[in-house]
Structure 1
């Protein structure tokens, strides 16, 4: 099935996730002058979560989304609900701050997983949530690196992980590609768009005024900021910026001083035709989500209707790969050669926002403008928690906000064109190292 490319925004939109949900009619765009306590920019996990938390505390909240709720990375990602920030992000927090702060950040990520599960139960969100996650090594050298990460994680964060050598891994995965793995019983996976839409509906019921198809064109700063769209504006006491890599696509970036601290990285997924239940069970008997520990990684899981969902990080230059389905099929059959004859029915993708150090970037500008960005592929759990952290700070408790705002973040060098070229060269260098 051919994929649909949105050339303006660089995303492939033939999404299995969109095809497997029934959206309500879109909320009306902003077409008035509105006064509220807080204006939230961005309708993904972080923005919706923050708006929900604030409304539950009695704040008047308006949420502006340029497309639809969950349109961006929150509705098209791999669906992996993972504790922590990845090895690179955790290393950065320890090296740039302290082991004590790193432990606090880790504990907040654990709280984020508990928050996710609590919200699923509280709001009745059916998003096919399952526990169980595998991190995989494709070579013996990668296995040694994975073992080192596992031992450090167990020692420093008291987090239980299970080592799987090659024979033990075979009971989890019908693939000969991997030398070893680590099993995480707490992390898991879900249908990311169903989850985001469920949060959006909970926010509406809590009193959040949601405006879709309402791209922000300008942010006027001051004691009472004004957020402007093409047809309306919101004056407020505080602003929350949670639009990540798609900010600035429709007008001025609302906070240009933080724009260069993240880089858009293209990642793409395919969904096979439905497999038989027996074949799906043979492929991944425990129905865990999985990814390897390469820098440019493969990730995969089974959907509730027995499709293999397979993803890969492909581009660092904001362009969609040519022959996307064929390239993704080659990656998929490299892991599961037994799927060579299985049809691919959907292909889609988009951008995640990556920071230089792979740690999340939370902060405040001019006293009354809060922002969150840079989840670096670990946003499904933490973005929802980050929204709560921002809401807590606005409500007067900045203790956890201060943990993350203390993490230093550097700008990618040069303008958009220069830093994109530099990142492409760097990623090709590391890919060559991994191949060697």
Structure 2
């Protein structure tokens, strides 16, 4: 059975049920029940119209769950029952489902979980494993989210920016458990790009493709992180890079710049360099300036300081960093990097060790600890040589 096809049908089936009058929570449960039945029936007897089959069976499941009494069931049977599976309606409200799952009343984590469940078609167990939380915890999170949006109608304009933030959150989770959330986010964003003509949707898809293209080179054989400058660029996915660049260029040509297009432009400049030394850091700083104007984000300014340090030297980078809050995530690590480039190895080693203690990600903590240890070795060698003179 084609699991990708099955999962791609879920949003359209759910929106048909909601349009017919099912509330979101009951409709989503009915769709999941229909999927279970499909897994058992389709291998032996695949339907001619998979979407129509799922809609019919899910609607039956919904009615079975909501019938008030046996009399109503008998009355419906006397009136001829439900129609047999047939061609599904042409209308597809999948886009509205995206907006529903990104409802502003939901927390970001709940919006992500609901999107993966209702739009992505992942099971609660798969989502729980991806987020490394107990299945019962994830089930409660999804149930609360479903209750929150159950009374929301699907006839209101949606906020594209909110949906894109949710998809970006999914992408940034990367890979854990048995679900590749980065690949899943790309699949969902492709789906959204096919449904809505918006340059920022295209910009986000391009950004995801360009970042995902470097995935194979991001870790060494022992699982340790490999910084961008040290990555084997021969392991980058050139097809994904080419696709991302084409999508980005088409979006930029519409002259409606947004934050995801600007981020994608920065990623494209990194991808365009055959070696780290050939990176066009001056142009990257210019794109960070554009991005800072669009978002006013301190994280953007932190990344800009790194780019300034590469374009204009570490002293300029440190000057750009000085105006930012040291409590920012990665501020200490960036400061360590810039001090090392400026030749102040004592300060850099101390800051790498401090950044390692602050890191919340095990791989990042290990990487920063290695950086501190590397500099301590260099400092020890330098001191021994000085003592011998």
- TM-score bracket relative to the smaller structure: under 0.3
Bigger fraction of residues in helix: 2
The structure whose residues are more often strand, as a share, is 1
TM-score by length of 1: 0.24
Q: Work out which structure has the larger RCO, using CA pairs closer than 8 Å and 6 or more positions apart in sequence.
A: 1
Higher Rg: 2
Normalised by the length of structure 2, the TM-score is: 0.27
